């Protein structure tokens, strides 16, 4: 997936200035990736999108073996809090235990993007190494078990509570749109004064395009918007 790549690739797309690298060479104790309480994780997941969407969304929380449904949904959206392993496998914050990415997928994103992240989470919780996860992902892509995104796949990342990287912390509220591998020029991404940035991801057959929005999910303006 992600992701998201949901959380950290957006930073390289944006050209964010990097701080001195903080190494996370191995997985931290798994408890460091957990939220203090189930209710806190539900609330953070809902904060990914406006209440008009997240109030009726399915809410997932990270359990002992993977993500579990905490609140059934009614509108086809799915909200959860992603962890650092939503990044590409070579990201230097792949194991950063501080990262929390509230994210809310529409139905197409749930079917074709979220499922890949959920599988990766199950591997992490089972103790699978990063190198082995990469091999499994490459094999799944080659076997066409991981396919390009469904038409219309997108997600909301508009939470004030997000911590997306040591480089950019809370960053900006934004929307993300997933396509099969697509040249970024087709979207005008990264062009001068264009509000769109992104492009093809690394391991999976996906391109990700990101558009910043001016307000957080509660409607208040983002002080970091530009």
> Can you give 40-81 as a three-state secondary structure string?
HHHHHHHCCCCHHHHCCCEEEEECCCCEEEEECCCCCCEEEE
Q: Where residue 86 falls among pLDDT bands split at 50, 70, 90?
A: very high
Minimum mean pLDDT among 1-10, 129-138, 207-216: which range?
1-10
**SS3 (DSSP) at 63:** coil
Would you say 105 and 82 are in contact if contact means Cβ atoms under 8 Å apart? no
pLDDT of residue 224: 60
Question: pLDDT, tens digit, for every residue of 5-55?
Answer: 444 454 444 444 444 554 799 999 999 999 889 999 999 999 999 999 999
How many CB atoms are closer than 10 A to CB 141?
A: 16
Strands 101-105 and 154-157: antiparallel
How far is it, in rounded angstroms, from Cα 186 to Cα 110? 24
Question: pLDDT, tens digit, for every residue of 148-188?
Answer: 999 999 999 999 999 998 887 778 999 999 999 999 999 99
The residue extents of the domains of the chain are: 9-212
pLDDT of residue 23: 76
* pLDDT score of 193 more than 70: yes
E-assigned strand segments in 91-192: 101-105, 154-157, 174-179
How far is it, in rounded angstroms, from Cα 179 to Cα 21? 31
Q: Which of 149, 142, 159, 136 lies closest to 222 in space, CA to CA?
A: 159
């Amino acid at each position: 997936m992600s992701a998201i790549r949901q959380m950290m690739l957006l930073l390289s797309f944006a050209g964010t200035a990097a701080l001195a690298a903080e190494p996370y060479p191995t997985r931290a104790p798994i408890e460091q990736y957990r939220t203090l309480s189930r209710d806190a994780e539900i609330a953070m997941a809902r904060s990914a999108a406006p209440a008009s969407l997240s109030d009726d969304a399915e809410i997932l929380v990270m359990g002992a073996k993977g993500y579990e449904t905490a609140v059934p949904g009614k509108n086809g959206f799915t909200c959860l809090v992603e962890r650092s392993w939503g990044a590409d496998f070579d990201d230097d914050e792949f194991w950063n235990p501080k990262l929390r990415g509230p994210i809310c997928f529409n139905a197409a994103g749930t079917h074709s993007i979220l499922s890949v992240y959920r599988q990766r989470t199950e591997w992490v919780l089972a103790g699978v190494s990063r190198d082995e996860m990469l091999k499994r992902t490459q094999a799944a892509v080659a076997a066409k078990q991981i396919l390009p995104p469904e038409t219309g796949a997108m997600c909301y990342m508009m939470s004030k509570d997000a911590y997306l990287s040591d480089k950019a912390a809370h960053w900006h509220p934004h929307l993300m749109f997933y396509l099969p591998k697509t040249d970024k020029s087709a979207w005008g991404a990264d062009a001068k004064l264009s509000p769109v940035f992104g492009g093809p991801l690394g391991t999976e057959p996906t391109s990700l395009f990101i558009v910043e929005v001016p307000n957080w999910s509660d409607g208040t303006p983002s002080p970091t918007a530009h």
